[in-house]
Amino acid sequence: MKIKVCGMREADNIMQLNLLAIDYMGLIFHEPSPRFVQQAVPVCSGGIQRIGVFVNKSLPYITSKVQQYQLDGVQLHGQESTSLCGELKQMGLITIKVFSVLDELPISKLEEYERYCDFFLFDTKGKAAGGNGVQFAWQILESYHLDRPFFLSGGIGLKDAKSIRALDINQLYGVDINSGFENKPAIKNIKMISEFIKILQE
């Protein structure tokens, strides 16, 4: 189970996170977010890949942030086209397309995007583009039949580790955690994340 910690920003907190066995770190480039990144961010060691989170941004804007922040991939939270996803994927960037859901998966839309991205991410539909801090009905994932692997997101906390570990879905590639592990926006509770990882790996 891969671990992606999103909404990172502060240097000291990032260096603490760097000591844990995580796989991806998310940097948010969406201005309305309280976790919006504007300052320099330290480079992590140990193979942690940096994923930039964007909402309906242009290709030039995205590529400028890729270069500035040495991003390994992108996570697209808006109504980005298949062609934009495909261009980013062809650039060699890990490309994650987000779909916000509640009680059903948009299977036809997923089929449309499948060849243009590396992963899907399922988050909970809400007022904000992401980070609403609530869960959707995970049982709808049982109907997922596509080959494209996905991340599970939306309102995940420490208490959910055992339930996630029990999910028997081959395409479940990883979990994306954020506000459920924060002391305040953009400041993660490293102890909680460490415990979460420990339970997932038991």
- Sorted by where each starts, the structural domains of the chain and their CATH numbers stand as 2-200 (3.20.20.70)
Query: Tell me, what's the pLDDT at 134?
Result: 85
Query: Tell me, what's the pLDDT at 44?
Result: 82
What is the pTM assigned to this prediction? 0.96
- With a cut of 80, say whether residue 152 has pLDDT above it: yes
Spatial distance between the Cα atoms of 21 and 152, rounded to a whole number of angstroms: 18
Sign, Cα dihedral of 147, 5, 77, 141? positive
- With a cut of 60, say whether residue 131 has pLDDT above it: no
- With a cut of 80, say whether residue 129 has pLDDT above it: no
Query: Tell me, what's the pLDDT at 132?
Result: 60
Average pLDDT in the 142-152 region? 96
How many residues can be counted in the chain? 202
**Angle between helix 59-68 and 82-90 (nearest 10):** 30
Higher pLDDT pick, 134 / 195:
195
**CA separation (Å) from 42 to 7, 18, 25, 96, 105?**
14, 10, 11, 22, 37
Query: Tell me, what's the pLDDT at 29?
Result: 98
Average pLDDT in the 175-196 region? 97
Contact by Cβ (8 Å): 4, 151: yes
Spatial distance between the Cα atoms of 8 and 38, rounded to a whole number of angstroms: 11
**Over the stretch 60-118, which tens digit does the pLDDT of each residue have?**
999 999 999 999 999 999 999 999 999 999 999 999 999 999 999 999 999 999 999 99
As a whole-number percent, the residues of the chain with pLDDT over 90 amount to 91
Q: What is the CA radius of gyration of the chain?
A: 16
Q: Which of 117, 176, 177 is nearest to 146 (CA)?
A: 117
Contact by Cβ (8 Å): 144, 171: yes
Full 3-state SS string of the chain: CEEEECCCCCHHHHHHHCCCCCCEEEEECCCCCCCECCCCCCCCCCCCEEEEEECCCCHHHHHHHHHHCCCCEEEECCCCCHHHHHHHHHCCCEEEEEEEECCCCCHHHHHHHHHHCCEEEEEECCCCCCCCCCCCCHHHHHHCCCCCCEEECCCCCHHHHHHHHHCCCCCEEEEEECHHHEEECCEECHHHHHHHHHHHCC
- With a cut of 90, say whether residue 127 has pLDDT above it: no
